Structure 1
Amino acid sequence: MKRAVILGGTGVLGRAIAWRLIRAGWAVDMTGRDRTKMPADLAAAGARFIAAERRDDAALAGVMAGGADLLVDAVCYTDADARQLLPHLAAVTSAVMLSSKAVYVDAAGNHVNSDVAPRFDAPILENNPTMRPGTGDYQSREGYGANKVAAENTLLGSGHPVTVIRASKVHGEGAALPREWMFVKRVLDRRPAVFLAHAGQGADHTTAAVNTAALVERVAAVPAARILNSADPDAPNARQIAAAIARYLGHHWEEVLLDDSAPAGLGDHPWDFRPPLVLSTKASLDLVYEPVGTYAQTIPHQVDWLVKAAAAGAMPGTGDPSLKHYLDYSREEQFTAGSALRTRQRPL
């Protein structure tokens, strides 16, 4: 039986990858600091949880003892993290570093965490310019992408078959930042209307965790040093995302498609990039990788998880402070108090 090790495996991508590999007959070991975050259904399916601190050299050596057919690092954020892996890569057939599209910069040097939003007029290829490699606080807006680039460079230059996978806005069960909660919560609150800034035309390419998992499984079969984008086969805008979620939950609301004259903050959402930010996935498809499905086909898994969590009294997305802004209905109430809602129907 082939062995896979997923470092930091209890997050949204780690879970999806574990399920994909288990169903394909792999033995899967998942590491993490908190055993309570290990999904019970994954453990019941045969995944093994190993309590280990990612940055503890001795713990990492224990996890990697005997090597692995596939190593997936879901928590490699810095050059130091990458260098910790180097002594173990000779005993790994194929390795994957999960990175992010946050590394890309536009012609003006702006990136998704910049004060000025980037502008990409075409789908972003893997050879698009990136931020300069850096150190410092990887949890800061400027430090996140720069540290990721440094880690990528170290692993890609190691001489080992490491695939860097750059995902976009990830969705799936276990997401720490379940952006779609802003629409699911509106449905659960039976809101009669959904407000969308810039007519909901803004888009930031979505990435189903299950699609990334399918790509990882393919990468395991064809080891190499390379960079691959991971995103859904479609790139829905915010209006299409809201419609897909409402449709799945059987809810009808009035669409209020706002223009630039709308009050500041009204209709804000996390996908508001114009022109749309889209990743090219041609390189992944050329690898004969088959996506699990489109956004509308894959989002129900996360929606069901969010609805179940809410029914159990949990509040999804507590780790994402921006959700409080997106779920503040006061601007909508003020707007509707001053004018009657009129839906402007436009093609999706």
Structure 2
Amino acid sequence: MPRALILGGTGPVGRAAAHRLLAAGWRVDVTGRDPARMPPELSALGGEFRAVDRTDSGALRAAVGEGTDLLVDCLCFTAADARSLLPLAAHATSTVLVSGRAVYIDAAGSHINSSTPPRFSGPISETHPTMTPRDDIGHRSREGYGANKVAAELVALDSGLPISVLRPSQIHGVGASPAREWAVVKRVLDSRTTLLLADRGAGVVHTTAAANLAALIETVAQRPGTRVLNCADPDTPSVLEICRTIAGHLGHEWEEVPLDDTAPTGLGRTPWDSPHPIVLDTSAATALGYRPAGTYAATIAPALDRLVKAAANGQPPADDDYFAEYLDYAAEDAFLAGR
């Protein structure tokens, strides 16, 4: 029975990967700081929780033990994190470092966290230019997140160890934070009868189901190597298509009101807006043997059901500051009254 150790295994990526591997007959240990966050479905499948802090190198080494077939790090954000990963990766047949599309820059040097939105000329491949690596700025800052991820990637890749760096885009799934779909789910639960859509809902930002990332993790586990791979859903739904998918799953209908650039600034915004398409080229992963678990519509249902259930239990997402701009009902009603 092969063994996997997932660092940060209670988050959306870790739980999806653990679930897929357990279902395939793997023995899986997941680490975290709070045992209460261990998904019960993983325990039911035989997954084991280890109370280990990502910064505790001794405890991590003990968790690896004599070795593991697969090591997945969902909590590697900086070069220092990557350096602490290497001694563990030396005892793993295959290692995965979860990075992200935030590392990419366009021809002008803009990235997804820039004040000026990036404008990519087409699908982004793994050889596309990335931000300059930095470790002198906090990884939680807008300029620091992608730059620190690049620095972490380089430490891992330069080691020569069989580490696969995976770059997803806007991860969605049970446990995702922020749970972007809440911006639409809450509207449904609040019985809103109109949906305003900035830029006519035409924006496209590639999404990545945690289930699809899990499928790629299983693929690289079976094919160890040192590489970088993009990971995204097999389709690229627009904002309008995403909103229709969510509303359709919840059995809700509303009037769609497409807005142009004459509408008030900020009105009709969603978490998936982008003035220019951001799409990942995933052909390298496909060539390796990766097969996605499903499209956005096929994979988002469990997360939507979980959000509805959490809201019914009085535990909706707590990211009020994040969702405020997408749920300004007063501004919407004022606009609609003046039509």
Alignment TM-score > 0.5, same fold: yes
- In the other structure, the counterpart of 1:220 is 221
Alpha-carbon distance between aligned partners in 1 of 2:49 and 2:327, rounded to the nearest angstrom:
35
Alignment pair present for 1:4 and 2:4: yes
Alignment pair present for 1:148 and 2:162: no
Runs of 4+ displaced beyond 4 Å = none
Alpha-carbon distance between aligned partners in 2 of 1:185 and 1:278, rounded to the nearest angstrom:
27
- In the other structure, the counterpart of 1:251 is 252
Instruction: Describe the shift of the 1:219–1:300 C-alpha distance in structure 2 as closer, same or farther (beyond 3 A).
Output: same
- In the other structure, the counterpart of 2:65 is 65
| 3-state SS of 1:97 partner | strand
Alignment pair present for 1:190 and 2:203: no
Amino acid at match of 1:157: D
Alpha-carbon distance between aligned partners in 1 of 2:293 and 2:267, rounded to the nearest angstrom:
34
Number of residue pairs aligned between Structure 1 and Structure 2 = 338
| 3-state SS of 2:29 partner | strand
Amino acid at match of 2:311: A
| 3-state SS of 2:30 partner | strand
Alpha-carbon distance between aligned partners in 2 of 1:251 and 1:270, rounded to the nearest angstrom:
20
- In the other structure, the counterpart of 2:94 is 94
| 3-state SS of 1:29 partner | strand
Alpha-carbon distance between aligned partners in 1 of 2:320 and 2:99, rounded to the nearest angstrom:
20
Alpha-carbon distance between aligned partners in 2 of 1:93 and 1:239, rounded to the nearest angstrom:
43
User: Is 2:6–2:28's contact at 8 Å kept on the other side of the alignment?
Assistant: yes
Alpha-carbon distance between aligned partners in 1 of 2:85 and 2:190, rounded to the nearest angstrom:
46
| 3-state SS of 1:114 partner | coil
| 3-state SS of 2:98 partner | strand
| 3-state SS of 2:143 partner | helix
CA shift for structure 1 position 88: 2.1
Alpha-carbon distance between aligned partners in 1 of 2:319 and 2:100, rounded to the nearest angstrom:
19
CA shift for structure 1 position 237: 0.8
| 3-state SS of 1:190 partner | coil
| 3-state SS of 2:233 partner | coil
Residues 287-313 of structure 1, C-alpha deviations (whole Å, 9 max, x = no match): 111111111111111111111111111
| 3-state SS of 1:144 partner | helix
Q: Which is worse superposed, 122-131 or 266-275?
A: 266-275
Alignment TM-score, normalising by the size of structure 1: 0.96
User: Is 1:121–1:275's contact at 8 Å kept on the other side of the alignment?
Assistant: no
Alignment TM-score, normalising by the size of structure 2: 0.98
User: Is 2:164–2:229's contact at 8 Å kept on the other side of the alignment?
Assistant: yes
Alignment pair present for 1:282 and 2:294: no
Alignment pair present for 1:170 and 2:171: yes
Amino acid at match of 2:153: E
- In the other structure, the counterpart of 1:139 is 140
User: Is 2:183–2:271's contact at 8 Å kept on the other side of the alignment?
Assistant: no
Alignment pair present for 1:48 and 2:38: no
Alpha-carbon distance between aligned partners in 2 of 1:3 and 1:321, rounded to the nearest angstrom:
40
CA shift for structure 1 position 62: 1.2
- In the other structure, the counterpart of 1:231 is 232
User: Is 2:131–2:150's contact at 8 Å kept on the other side of the alignment?
Assistant: yes
User: Is 1:203–1:236's contact at 8 Å kept on the other side of the alignment?
Assistant: yes
Structure 1 unaligned residues grouped into runs of 5+: 340-348
Alignment pair present for 1:270 and 2:271: yes
Residues 42-73 of structure 1, C-alpha deviations (whole Å, 9 max, x = no match): 11211111001101111111111111100000
Alpha-carbon distance between aligned partners in 2 of 1:160 and 1:82, rounded to the nearest angstrom:
12
User: Is 1:202–1:238's contact at 8 Å kept on the other side of the alignment?
Assistant: yes
- In the other structure, the counterpart of 1:206 is 207
Alpha-carbon distance between aligned partners in 1 of 2:276 and 2:320, rounded to the nearest angstrom:
25
User: Is 1:79–1:154's contact at 8 Å kept on the other side of the alignment?
Assistant: yes
- In the other structure, the counterpart of 1:105 is 105
Report the RMSD for the aligned CA atoms in angstroms: 0.9
Alpha-carbon distance between aligned partners in 2 of 1:201 and 1:239, rounded to the nearest angstrom:
7
Name the % identity: 55
Alpha-carbon distance between aligned partners in 1 of 2:22 and 2:321, rounded to the nearest angstrom:
34
Amino acid at match of 2:64: M
User: Is 2:201–2:258's contact at 8 Å kept on the other side of the alignment?
Assistant: yes
Alpha-carbon distance between aligned partners in 2 of 1:42 and 1:308, rounded to the nearest angstrom:
19
Q: Which is worse superposed, 320-329 or 270-279?
A: 320-329
Residues 150-189 of structure 1, C-alpha deviations (whole Å, 9 max, x = no match): 0000001111110000000111001121101111111111
CA shift for structure 1 position 320: 6.2
CA shift for structure 1 position 276: 1.1
Alpha-carbon distance between aligned partners in 2 of 1:67 and 1:195, rounded to the nearest angstrom:
53
| 3-state SS of 2:290 partner | coil
User: Is 2:118–2:276's contact at 8 Å kept on the other side of the alignment?
Assistant: no
CA shift for structure 1 position 275: 2.2
Alpha-carbon distance between aligned partners in 1 of 2:160 and 2:320, rounded to the nearest angstrom:
38
CA shift for structure 1 position 319: 3.4
Alpha-carbon distance between aligned partners in 2 of 1:34 and 1:176, rounded to the nearest angstrom:
17
User: Is 1:207–1:232's contact at 8 Å kept on the other side of the alignment?
Assistant: yes
- In the other structure, the counterpart of 1:294 is 295
Kindly report which structure 2 residues correspond to 1:109-128, keeping only aligned pairs within 5 A, or say none: 109-128=109-128
